[in-house]
Amino acid sequence: MSLALSAALRTALSDWLDRLVALDGAAANTVKAYRTDVTGFLAFLATHRGEEIGPARLARVTQSEMRAWMAHERGRGTSARSLARALSAVKGFARSIAERDGSEPTAILAARSPKFQRKLPRPLTEGAAREVIGTMGSQPREDWIAARDAAVATLLYGCGLRISEALGLTGRESPLPEVLRIRGKGGKERIVPVLPAARSAVAAYARLCPFPVADEPQAPLFRGARGGPLNPRLIAKAMEQARLALGLPATATPHAMRHSFATHLLSAGGDLRAIQELLGHASLSTTQAYTAVDTTRLMEVYEKAHPRSRAGAGT
């Protein structure tokens, strides 16, 4: 790889990734994925043309080369969704080179992203979400562990937190305040109101926890059985047990609780922009997926309840 890419291009790539971290707060996994995507594209160009690739070469990339790269990726099994992400990374890098050098990588920036079916979130019903929390809090295990699992699930559903955000809380947040300052993906901060039910659930866990969570402001709020940070897989396992006990589908995962939070807010008349802020989505288009979920559920209710629907197509 290093022989195929000029030193200047490798330096430019490192600088671009560093800027994504410094200015945009890009997560480590995002940076790793972008590095893989861009180096894969550049390596393809080098092999395709049989020459070393430098920054100036990006401005001379043709539409034919872009199509060849995308066909190559699909041929080796890359999904449309992954290819769309890779193309986005390549465009971002090419744009940074263009801004620095005054070049115009027209063919790269004009390349059309492959279409793919965006997966809609699969929320639980309001009743099922409550039952999951109740079941997780009553499963046969130590009382403090059951209370811990129920408290985490309550934060996911009651505050719309990601599992990583809930488990990232520290003793400093105990007892929970009325609002939390959450640092989410990409270091983006948001203010999240905390419902009384969530504060109560966390307080119940803190009272039963054998480890002094409130006395250690820097330590994790939620602890594992030996006192260390709680592994998210344990919450996933507890929810799986609750799902099986309640007869819920496999889509009833910890993340589905966050989806349920957003969908139920929207159903209750919540403003889409406000929900975007509560979830910490960088783009409104991400939050708009919930409008499709809500519409789908509305149509399901319509089909079941509307008299004409029940009467059949022949009426």
Q: Pick the closest to residue 145 from 241, 240, 252, 238 (CA basis).
A: 238
Which is nearest to 26 in space by CA: 79, 74, 88, 78? 88
CA distance 1 to 47: 10
- CB under 8 A, 24+ apart: contacts of 238-245: 238/136, 238/139, 238/149, 239/132, 239/136, 239/149, 239/153, 241/135, 241/136, 241/139, 242/131, 242/132, 242/135, 242/136, 242/139, 243/132, 245/135, 245/139
Parallel/antiparallel/unpaired status of strands 179-183 and 189-193? antiparallel
Strand partners, 229: 223
CA distances from 3 to 69, 173, 248 (A): 20, 51, 53
Give the bridge partners for 182, in sequence order: 190
Residues labelled catalytic: 162, 185, 255, 258, 281, 290
CA triple 157-199-249, angle to 5 deg: 20
Asked whether the beta carbons of 280 and 273 are under 8 A apart, the reply is no
